[in-house]
Amino acid sequence: SAAEKGGYDYFMLKEIAEQPQAIADTLLGRLSERGDIVLDEVRLTDQDLRDVDKVFIVACGTSYHAGMVAKYAIEHWVRIPCEVELASEFRYRDPILDRSTLMIVISQSGETMDTLMALRHAKEQKARVLAICNTNGSTIPRESDAVLYTHGGPEIAVASTKAFVTQLVACYLIGLHLAQIRGVMYADEVAAVVSRLRRTPDNLRELLTRMEDVRELARDLKTASTILFIGRHVGFPVALEGALKLKELAYMHAEGFAAGELKHGPIALIDKGTPVVCVVPSPAGRGVLRDKVVSNIQEVRARGARTIVIAEEGDDEVAAYADHLILVPRTPTLLAPLMTAVPLQILACEIAAARGHDVDQPRNLAKSVTVE
């Protein structure tokens, strides 16, 4: 009913709007006054976590995209090798796991069969399993050694939105926690990231107030035959996520690419007017990365693409290469997906609605996929 949807046309729009609160709730109680990270529900001892020499992150769909972002954060902060893999592929390739492997499984529902099977396989190999899950008491956290619950609240729409951003937060917390107890980050470095994380709910609230342009753009793009998404570093999983949302909701062809891979093939797809959504990294810190994406934007534009550019506020230079510019609040590079993924959720939702689809219940899909 309309009341259940809180006045929104779709659960998905309600859940998109709930994201700032969902992030705040997931951070709540996990941070001490000093900005230290407290993960009480993690039943692995600090010593267990110090012994870890390799991390595997395993998940499906949107949760897998959160895991891809986590890999960048964990390797950068913790300095231990981290692999991320689709659950449906994981156990069939005989992965190398042992007692000092930390396997992180990510699942909103906690019931995804592919992920559960990967978890069981890892446990048989004696790996320690830590679940990130949004559903209390579901199978995946029950079978794991430890769980960090995301406090996103029930997610009704088939397309995952608030679960995704809370999974990112959980991954950041785990990364910082590992870095802290292993002594690879100083307390003040951790505290600096934490204080930026604490600001993201307000940043996102502000971003959500100015999405009218994205809605207009959606009406414009609803007849496109394909939409391409490009990004680098953590912008790459965001590009994949943007494309997945569009496929599942709008039933349109969409692809996400690592921007640097364009010249190795996909650039041949660009035709006059092909919409390309470009996720631009922050110019601060790793300016090199941003400049590389900007040249990728110029390359697709030179071949006729219509560019939809998602960039950080204050990055005035990118405007010159954007047919449509979406600015997001300034955020440190690793945390940026908390901002950049959101306009893509809205874009997919609005395109699907404009095409007359049932946004909350897309065809052929179920909220929780309990078959392998």
Active-site residues: which are they? 367
Q: How far apart are CA 164 and CA 116, in angstroms?
A: 19
Q: Is 19 near ligand AGP (CB under 6 A)?
A: no
Contacting residues for 363 by C-beta, under 8 A, at least 6 apart: 251, 357
The only residue of 101, 107, 282, 340 in contact with ligand AGP, by rule CB under 6 A: 107
Helix ranges (H only) for 209-252 are 212-221, 235-250
Question: Is 74 in contact with 178 (CB distance < 8 Å)?
Answer: yes
Write down the least CB distance from residue 161 to ligand AGP, Å. Answer: 8
**Does residue 160 touch ligand AGP according to CB under 6 A?**
yes
Query: Which residue number places its CB atom closest to ligand AGP?
Result: 61
Q: Check binding of 369 to ligand AGP (CB under 6 A).
A: yes
Q: Phi first, then psi: give them for residue 230, nearest 5 degrees.
A: -130, 150
Q: Which of 21, 100, 226, 368 binds ligand AGP (CB under 6 A)?
A: 368
When asked if residue 307 is in the footprint of ligand AGP (CB under 6 A), the reply is: no
- By rule CB under 6 A, what string of x and - marks binding of each residue 233-272 to ligand AGP? ---------------x------------------------
* Closer residue to ligand AGP, CB minimum distance, 242 or 329: 242
Radius of gyration of the chain, Cα coordinates, nearest whole angstrom: 20
Residue with tokens 């494309």: 243
Distance, CA of 135 to CA of 111 (rounded, Å): 9
3-state secondary structure of 106: strand
Q: What is the DSSP letter of 158?
A: S
Is residue 159 near ligand AGP by the rule CB under 6 A? yes
By CB under 6 A, name the one of 115, 144, 331, 340 that touches ligand AGP. Answer: 115
DSSP state of 107: E
Question: Does residue 84 interact with ligand AGP by CB under 6 A?
Answer: no
The answer to whether 148 contacts ligand AGP (rule: CB under 6 A) is: no
- Give the interface with ligand AGP as residue ranges (CB under 6 A): 60-63, 107-109, 112, 115, 158-160, 248, 368-369
